Structure 1
Amino acid sequence: FGKGVYFADCSSKSANYCFANKQSSTGVLLLSEVSLGGAYERLAAEYEAAPACRKAGKQHTWGRGKAAPKEDEAVTLPGDPGLKVPLGPVVPTGVQGSSLLYNEFIVYDISQIKQRFVLQVKFHY
C-alpha cells in the first residue's frame, strides 16, 4: 500500500512484525489511537495506494481482510466513548475476493495518530 503508517485491528497481524523467535522472544507493540476518516478500500495490496487515496479524497487506505475481530466484542475505554478497542476471536469478515488475510489500515498523515500505550510482550514457542 506504499509509504505510510500501518495499523491492524488484530494483534496477531501486528505481532508478526516484532520478529521474535526462540532466541529473542520479547517484542514491543505500540497501541495507537488513529483518526481514520474516509476509507479508500482495497482487496489486494496496491503499491500506489497513497496517491490514489489522496486523489479519491480519502484519509486512509483500508486493506479489507478475510478475518477480523468480532465488532460486537470491541470495548470502549472509560472516559473515551468514541474510542473502540477491538477484542475477541478473529472471525471471517465475509469480504469476497480479498487476497488479504487480515485488515490493514494505512494513514499517510502522522497527525492522524495518537500514541497511547507501549506493550512489552513475551512470545511463547
Structure 2
Amino acid sequence: MSQVSRKRKQRDVSEFGAHPQENSTSVRKPDKEERGLTEISSGNITKTKPVKRKKGEERAIEPLAKYFLQMIPNLITLERPIKSWLQAAKIVRPVNHMEYIHSLIMKYVTAGQVYGSGIQVMDIVEIRRVEDVAYEMSGDWTTKKRMLLWHGTVEENLASILINGLQIPPLRHQLFGAGIYFADRVAKSAIFCYEGKPDTKPYYLLLCDVLVGNSYIGLKPHRMLTSPPKNYDSVMGNGKDIPDPSETVCYKDMHIPLGLSVPNCGDLEECFLDDNEYAVYKPENVKPLYLVRFEFTPRPFCNCCNIMVE
C-alpha cells in the first residue's frame, strides 16, 4: 500500500468510523427498546432494520403497525395524524411470532375458546401509552397481584380507549356495579366485540395488565358498587369452570392463566357465573398492553398449530 493510500484510509477511518469488519467495537448495538421497535414479522421471516434517531426526533412506526392502526375507525384522522397520535404512546409495534409473549398469547387464546365457536388470531400489536407507563412507578404495581386479562369492545370504541385509556362507565346496574370488566377466557370477552351476531370481518380484543390486588369474591350480583368493598382492590366473580391453576405462568410479574377450563373445586352452589369475571374501579389500575385482531371460526381454532380443531 502506498503512503498516499495509507493516509487516505486513515483519514476515512477517523472521519467516518471503522468498517464493522475492521473494528466491531465501534458499532453501537441497539438498546432493548430499539430492537423491539424494529422487529417486523412477514410470514415465517423476521427482519431487523437498524433505527437511528436524533435526540428529540419523532419515533418512526413500522409499516405493519401503521397499517394495523389505520384500519381502526376514528383513530387516525386529519386532526389526529399518526405522528400526533404517537406522541401519546411509548411503544407501537407488531409482536412477531419469534417472541415469547407471542407464544403465550396464542396459547391463552386457544385455551380460552369455551363456547363452541373458535377465535383465529390475525395480528398482535403492542401498544403502551405514556400515561400507563407512569403508573409503573407507583408501589402498588410492584407489591400487589397483577393479571393479564381480556377486555372486549366494539370497534367503534377502540379509538377512545387507545387515546384516553379505559374509563369507568356510568352506573347502569352492571353485575358488579360501575367498574371496568375483564375475563380470563377469551371467548367471554369476545362476545362484547359485536352487536347482534358475529360477522366474518375482523374484530379486536385488548389484553390488559390489570392490578387486581386483593379481590373480593362476589358470590352474588352487587349492582350498585362504584368501588370495591373496604380493604379490597377489585371484585371477582367465581365461575363454575376456571382455568387449570397448575398452568398459570408469570410473565413480567403478571399472572397469565393459560390452562384449559376445568371444574371449579369450590362450592359450585356459590358460583353463579359460567366463567370468571373481574371488575376494577380505577382507570389507573389498568394498562392496555396488546391489541389483538381476530376472526371468528365455526369451530375451535388451535392458534398454536394454525388449524381448525375437529
What band does the TM-score fall into relative to the shorter chain?
Answer: 0.7 to 0.9
**Which letter does structure 1 place at the counterpart of 2:194?**
F
Structure 2 residue matching 1:30: 3-state secondary structure: strand
Q: Which residue of 1 aligns with 2:194?
A: 19
How far apart, in 2, do the equivalents of 1:88 and 1:39 lie? 20
Q: TM-score, normalised by structure 2?
A: 0.36
**Which letter does structure 2 place at the counterpart of 1:35?**
L
How far apart, in 2, do the equivalents of 1:23 and 1:3 lie? 29
Q: How do 1:32-43 and structure 2 match up within 5 A?
A: 32-43=208-219
Question: Is 1:110 aligned to residue 294 of structure 2?
Answer: no
1:76 paired residue among 222, 244, 250: 250
Deviations 1:36-59 (A, max 9, x none): 1121211222202334x24x2211
Residue 25 of structure 1, CA deviation: 4.0
Q: Which residue of 2 aligns with 1:28?
A: 204
How far apart, in 2, do the equivalents of 1:25 and 1:2 lie? 32
Matched residues, percent identical? 30
Higher helix share: 2
RMSD of aligned residue pairs (Cα, Å): 1.8
Q: RCO greater where, 1 or 2, for CA within 8 Å and sep 6 or more?
A: 1
How far apart, in 2, do the equivalents of 1:33 and 1:57 lie? 21
Structure 2 residue matching 1:65: 3-state secondary structure: coil
Residue 60 of structure 1, CA deviation: 0.5
Higher strand share: 1
How far apart, in 2, do the equivalents of 1:100 and 1:43 lie? 9
How far apart, in 1, do the equivalents of 2:245 and 2:181 lie? 20
Runs of 4+ displaced beyond 4 Å: none
Q: Which residue of 1 aligns with 2:178?
A: 3
How far apart, in 2, do the equivalents of 1:22 and 1:9 lie? 21
Q: TM-score, normalised by structure 1?
A: 0.85
How far apart, in 1, do the equivalents of 2:200 and 2:178 lie? 28
Residue 31 of structure 1, CA deviation: 0.3
- 2:246 and 2:259 in contact (8 A); partners too: no
- 2:210 and 2:287 in contact (8 A); partners too: yes
Deviations 1:71-98 (A, max 9, x none): 2112233xx1x21211131111123221
